[in-house]
Amino acid sequence: MRDLKNNLGVVLAISPAVLAATTTGAALDLFGFNSAMLVVSTGAIVGAGDFTAKLQESDTTTSGDFLDVAAADLHGAFPASLAADSVVKVGYRGFKRYLRAVITKNGGTSIAAGAILLKGDAVARPVT
């Protein structure tokens, strides 16, 4: 099975929307997968919007247990500020079971953005 469809899990991390405040995605379970990559896509920025993205990890789904993923556990890096009409991809190489995406408003008005989590190296295939 060489195709990606049957070898990757894809989950919505942050629904595409016009974001005017910091948005934290739900806890996403990596059980059954050995790698992950967060993909953030953006559209228009209004009012000099300054937004950043990050990935957080935890062993539980409890919100207070999530911590920012250390740079050493990322493949690539998130930009200092998200640009309009762009795509950012950052891989995860840590060992926690749960991940969540966060898009933080640092200033300005809004940004059109969303994020998906790609889960790879599935233990069982095909992935449905």
pLDDT of residue 20: 97
pLDDT of residue 79: 98
pLDDT of residue 50: 97
Distance CA 58, CA 23 (A): 18
- What angle (nearest 5°) sits at the alpha carbon of residue 36, between those of residues 34 and 40? 175
Structure tokens at 125: 């295939």
pLDDT of residue 128: 82
pLDDT of residue 4: 87
Q: In order along the chain (128 residues), what is the average pLDDT of each group of 10 residues?
A: 85 98 98 97 96 98 98 98 98 97 98 98 90
| Structural domains present in the chain | 9-121 (2.60.120.380)
pLDDT of residue 1: 53
Residue carrying structure tokens 């228009």: 44
